[in-house]
Chain A
Amino acid sequence: MVTDVSTVRIGITGFWGVLRGDLTRWLGRRGLSQLILWLVIIEGFLYYTVATENAPFGKLGYENLLNMLMFFPIFAGIILAEAAIVGEYHSGIAAWLVSKPVPRAGYLVAKLGGLWIGLSVTAILIPGLVANWWLPKVEPYRFVTPQPPPFGRFLAALGVTIVVLGFFIALTGFLAVVIRRRGVVALLAIVAWLLLRIPLPQIPTSWHRFLPSGLYGTGQATGGWIPGMEYIHGHPFDQASAVPMTMVAAALLVAGAVLIYRRLEL
């Protein structure tokens, strides 16, 4: 029993050491450059679409914001998750780290978890809050939708987007452990992501409550299929069970990846 406690303590130290290293990176130069990048891209695109009189997508406000928060960070999450797992597997960094007192499960969870937290903050939370500050002040926006959504509901929409990001990072992590080929992993994850953006008629409606697609809603102005949209428009969120179910699905994908990774030759 003493040994077990000691093993757990060693494992937690190793896991926290890897996670701390990755999070520190997000707090440093990498995090700052990512934040600037996402602020420029998201705020820039958003300003263009809502504040330009003759903009092609004009005056769509929060719908466009959520669409961009779903599009760019998830795409980046897939690419970065592939680089973290497949890249470190092939470079030898994964082998080097797990030769230390770091459990393989801890390594994998720390890598995917660190990426999820880092991207959630720099690419979803901060750009979303910045946009929420200036968006209601823009005149053309007011013209279409006079009232911004309540702050709580807006935060819930950001939370839903973060859950969807977590699911796709977990899916990419699972594919990365199984396939271990750069490019192929990202391609498959992107195909899955694109398929879940479309409300496929082949999928029975009841299934959506167990899938990340259940977190998507139809935009009023765009007609687009966007995560968290129901929260923004204040409609009853009839797929609320999709939130925990998507989290469970993500956890199962990570658990599956851990099972395979524990037997992988590094």
Chain B
Amino acid sequence: MTVPAIEIRQLKKRYRKVEALRGLDLTVDQGSVCGFLGPNGAGKTTTMKILMGLIQSSSGWAAVLGDDVRDAGLPARARIGYLPQDPVFPQYQTVRGVVASVARLYPGHPRGSELKRRVDDLIDRVGMTDKARRRVRGLSGGERQRLGVAQALVGEPDLVILDEPSAGLDPMGRRDMLSLIEEISSQATVFYSTHILDDVERISDTVVMISKGRAVAQGSLDDILTVSGSDYAVRLRGKTSGIRDRLTAEPWVGGIDVRMHAEIEDWRIRLTDESAADRLVPLLVSDESCDVIEFHLSDRRLEDAYLDLVGADDGD
């Protein structure tokens, strides 16, 4: 049986009076592309730093590639590529210099023309060939981010941990970054944090949502969308205030988003209990002051699930 790429059990981390992690549990299988989602301050960067051995947990247990992070020293780190949030590199080095110097930190690294070939290949993959000789101090934020990904991959890792890889990138840079992550996923497990939900929907096969230092949901994208409830789209005409009040009072209705277009209203009704869907239609048609023109199951998006799950946790 393959060990998970990342396994975390009841991980806690306290910074003086702030509790950054409050018993986090998560598992990332090898070969997956796992999006790590959560609001600012949820504990994403803290989790990644613990995995990289940069900070120590207050309690709990975490393992990368089967090795406990407290014991996992250099052999484990030699198999992980890491892009920190806001990556910083020596200002005096060139793009090529940074990637080459990181390559030399790994055991069994290539030398001479083979090293040059690997470095140039990576610089090309992140789209920085024309800037290979440029010094770090002359790079934009997005270019530094691309350089960060190149240096994370230069050791040919089995696991790549990326802390907000799309941060600071323009739309084209973001698109290229996503393509690159998809490309990496054929060779390594990818665990990355982001705020951009569209990115997660596009490239991730699994998702972990974290809020206030705890995982609020994790699993495949489909699982997350199902677990968080279902949405129904309804188009109505007429006087709708009565039926809206009756629906809102039902315990299985999570919320109603309303968009008005002249005499027509488009509703998006979120159900917290899928089995209650059978009761929704009779209730809607029972109100004679309005007509139901359209009714169908709405395509639920990750954003909806995120707002429901993380929003509900915020409301605790």
Q: Name A residues whose Cβ lies closer than 8 Å to a Cβ of B.
A: 3, 6-7, 9-11, 13-14, 16-18, 20-21, 25, 30, 91-93, 95-103, 263, 265-266
Kindly state the separation between the CA atoms of A72 and B73 in the bound complex, as whole angstroms.
Answer: 40
**Contact partners of B106 in chain A: CB under 8 A:** 13, 100-101
Closest to A24 in B: B101
Min CB–CB distance B286 → chain A (angstroms): 61
A-contacting residues, B65-108, CB 8 Å: 73-75, 77-78, 82, 84, 86-90, 92, 101-102, 104-107
Q: Contact between A95 and B74 (Cβ–Cβ < 8 Å)?
A: no
CB pairs A–B below 8 angstroms (24 shown): A7-B74, A7-B75, A10-B78, A10-B107, A11-B74, A13-B107, A14-B105, A16-B104, A17-B101, A17-B104, A20-B104, A21-B104, A91-B88, A93-B90, A95-B84, A99-B52, A99-B77, A99-B84, A101-B77, A101-B78, A101-B155, A102-B105, A103-B73, A266-B54
Kindly state the separation between the CA atoms of A68 and B283 in the bound complex, as whole angstroms.
Answer: 93
**Contact partners of A11 in chain B: CB under 8 A:** 74
- A-side interface mostly: helix
Query: Is B30 in contact with chain A by the CB < 8 A criterion?
Result: no
Min CB–CB distance A114 → chain B (angstroms): 13
**Contact partners of A95 in chain B: CB under 8 A:** 49, 54, 84
Min CB–CB distance A191 → chain B (angstroms): 30
Query: Is B272 in contact with chain A by the CB < 8 A criterion?
Result: no
Known: A92-B87, A99-B54. 20 other contacts (CB 8 A): A3-B75, A6-B75, A7-B73, A7-B75, A10-B74, A10-B107, A13-B105, A13-B109, A14-B74, A21-B101, A30-B92, A92-B84, A93-B90, A95-B49, A98-B53, A99-B84, A101-B75, A101-B77, A101-B78, A101-B155
Kindly state the separation between the CA atoms of A26 and B308 in the bound complex, as whole angstroms.
Answer: 56
Q: Name B residues whose Cβ lies closer than 8 Å to a Cβ of A.
A: 49, 52-56, 73-75, 77-78, 82, 84, 86-90, 92, 101-102, 104-107, 109, 155
Q: Contact between A92 and B55 (Cβ–Cβ < 8 Å)?
A: no
Q: Contact between A18 and B54 (Cβ–Cβ < 8 Å)?
A: no
Kindly state the separation between the CA atoms of A24 and B46 in the bound complex, as whole angstroms.
Answer: 34
Q: Contact between A103 and B101 (Cβ–Cβ < 8 Å)?
A: no
Kindly state the separation between the CA atoms of A25 and B93 in the bound complex, as whole angstroms.
Answer: 9
Q: Contact between B82 and A99 (Cβ–Cβ < 8 Å)?
A: yes
Choice from A93, A98, A100 contacting B89 with Cβ under 8 Å: A93
**Contact partners of A14 in chain B: CB under 8 A:** 74, 105
